[in-house]
Each structure stands twice: as structure tokens, then as C-alpha cells.
Structure 1
Amino acid sequence: MRWHPKGYGGRRRDPEQVKREGWQEQGVLAVSVDDDRLSWPERELVRQLGERLYGPRAADDGGCHG
């Protein structure tokens, strides 16, 4: 019989499952500002929340992309 410490061996969860469980179990939301499932206003809201909570992203130059 093999025994693996927690976090070793077994089946690895995909990132979407980890995000889903984080939201459902702990109320933690992990959202990419580039998630295609979101509309433009939703992505903009995510960007604004991220900047308010954590400051601007290193890749952002502060200008509009277009």
C-alpha cells in the first residue's frame, strides 16, 4: 500500500476547478482581466477593482489599448 502526504500524488485539479472551489468554499474570486467569458464592462470592472486593491499592473502603461 502506498501512502502520499497531502498534496503529493493522486489527481491534480485543473485551475478552473481550483478557482470554482475557492469561490464556493471561501468566497475568494480569481478572475483574469482577459477572460473571454466576460463582457467588456465586466472586464473593465475587474481591472478597476484590481487597481484599487493592489495598484496598477506592471504591464499597464496607463493608456488605452487600441
Structure 2
Amino acid sequence: MKVPAQPYRCALGKVQPVVTDLDAVKRSGWREQHILVISDQDERLDFLEREFIRRIGERLYGSGGQHG
């Protein structure tokens, strides 16, 4: 008779981080609290949209220079 082997359970499995879906967090933030989180480097935006986002960021928070 074959008995299925129990999978080994590592004690460290409990401390593994849970991967967060960042787009889902951003989506719910927008829908529930009208908070928009977006990078001026987001490739889903065209040039004018990225420039608009950059200018809003600079107006509200000052010039932070380029990153990346």
C-alpha cells in the first residue's frame, strides 16, 4: 500500500512576505479615496500626459530632478 508522502513544511514559511498587487492597491486608492499614484515615467501615458503629470508634481512638491 502506497502512502502519500507529507510535504515538508519549512518553519520559515510563516515569515515569507505576502506579495502585494501594487496596481490593485493603487486602483482601490483611486476608487475609494480619489488618491492617484502615478509615475511621470509610466509608459501607458503618452508624452503630453507624462509632461502634465510632471508639471503637477513640480507645482505641488517642487522639482525633484530625474530619477532612474
TM-score (norm 2): 0.66
Matches within 5 A, 1:16-31: 16-31=23-38
Provide the C-alpha distance between the structure 2 equivalents of 1:24 and 1:12, rounded to a whole number of angstroms.
Answer: 21
5+ residue gaps, structure 2: 1-15
Q: What is the aligned-residue RMSD (CA, Å)?
A: 1.9
After TM superposition, which residue ranges in structure 1, 4 or more long, deviate above 4 angstroms?
none
Matched, 1:42 2:46: no
Count how many residue pairs are aligned between Structure 1 and Structure 2: 51
Provide the C-alpha distance between the structure 2 equivalents of 1:47 and 1:37, rounded to a whole number of angstroms.
Answer: 15
Matched, 1:56 2:63: yes
Question: Which deviates the most, 26-35 or 51-60?
Answer: 51-60
TM-score (norm 1): 0.68
Question: Which deviates the most, 46-55 or 12-21?
Answer: 12-21
Provide the C-alpha distance between the structure 2 equivalents of 1:35 and 1:23, rounded to a whole number of angstroms.
Answer: 17
Q: CA deviation at 1:13?
A: 2.9
5+ residue gaps, structure 1: 1-8, 61-66
Percent identity, aligned pairs only?
Answer: 46
